[in-house]
Amino acid sequence: MASALLLTACGGGGGRVSTAATPVSGAAAPALPAAVPAPLRVALPARLVSTTWRVQSSARVTVTGDGGEQRIDSDAVVSWSAERQPHGALRASGQVDSFTVRTELDSRRPATAPAPVLPGLILLDATLDSGAVRVSTRPPLANECDRPEASAAAVARDLLVRVPNGVALGDRWRDSVVTLTCRSGVPIVVHTTVLSQLEELTDEVLVVRRDLAARYQGKGGTAFRTLELTGTGVGAQRARVHALRGTLERLEGTMTLTLQATERLPGSAPRSQQIVQRTEFSAVRAR
């Protein structure tokens, strides 16, 4: 998903769904109208134990004038643990144990054999607060463009979902994230806005709907050839979280990315193609 862990809250919390206490009237006091019960509010724990998910995605890519469809399926095993800092941000450490990709050019051709795209275990660090989600490999990559480790880190980033402490059923909140990705060797800056709403809240589970909107802008090449990529993405996700542990139980979503690729050569008219990628994504807690 051009390009959700731990469902995490920024602020204090005690690992429970909280309610405000209702004072009890004295026996001699006159009868009063029944008090309106205080709404349930989210209170997630400050420490989130190590949790592992199986993450799967399936993308279908079409390019104008190409006449075919490419299918890209990926399968990853990702783990995260996290602890809240005194100022409210969450620091997380994790790893990608495996990450495989299978491609298929069109329905008439057999799929390629699944091939591991990572050299082995990859370690990650992350910081999550109200304004950003930052994920980096350990040790950091000298160049992230079109590196399989960067792709694995992007998959793991999707498991970092923020839920503020104190929100009640129906409340909404907004997050904005800027990330860097690559396509065909071209670095692309991605501005993503996520509008979340708490749709369900009980003593045991909370469900969050997330609507995503993204903008893409990139340019690369040489003195003899340049390639510009611009586009937008829209998506929706539904996250189910264990209210007491604060861990993500399941995340499902879709994303549609539309890119305009423009190639410029000296002395030639610009040549443009449209790329459309539709992705289905799921993450299920394994342990």
d(CA 12, CA 185): 42
What's the burial of 169, exposed, middle or buried (CB within 10 Å: 0-12/13-18/19+)?
middle
β-pairing, 161-162 vs 7-8, is parallel
pLDDT tens for the chain, residues 1 to 287: 434 445 444 444 445 444 444 444 555 566 666 666 778 888 888 888 999 999 999 999 999 877 688 999 999 999 999 988 766 678 999 999 999 888 887 545 454 444 444 557 899 999 887 667 889 888 888 777 768 888 889 999 999 998 888 899 999 999 888 888 887 788 999 999 999 999 999 999 999 999 999 999 999 888 788 999 999 999 999 999 999 888 999 999 999 999 999 999 988 899 999 999 999 999 999 98
Beta bridge partners of 263: 227, 271
Length of the chain: 287
What do you get for the CA distance between the two ends of the chain, in Å? 23
Picking from 127, 81, 37, the residue whose alpha carbon sits closest to that of residue 246 is: 81
| Tokens representing residue 183 in the block | 């396509």
d(CA 120, CA 140): 15
- Sign of the Cα torsion 236, 218, 94, 195 reads negative
Any residues with CB less than 8 A from the CB of 284 and at least 6 apart, and which? 53, 54, 249, 250
Picking from 102, 98, 91, 94, the residue whose alpha carbon sits closest to that of residue 54 is: 98
Per-residue pLDDT at 32: 66
Any residues with CB less than 8 A from the CB of 186 and at least 6 apart, and which? 218, 219, 220, 221, 227, 229
Any residues with CB less than 8 A from the CB of 258 and at least 6 apart, and which? 231, 232, 233, 274, 275, 276
Structural domains for the chain: 7-16+39-285 (2.30.230)
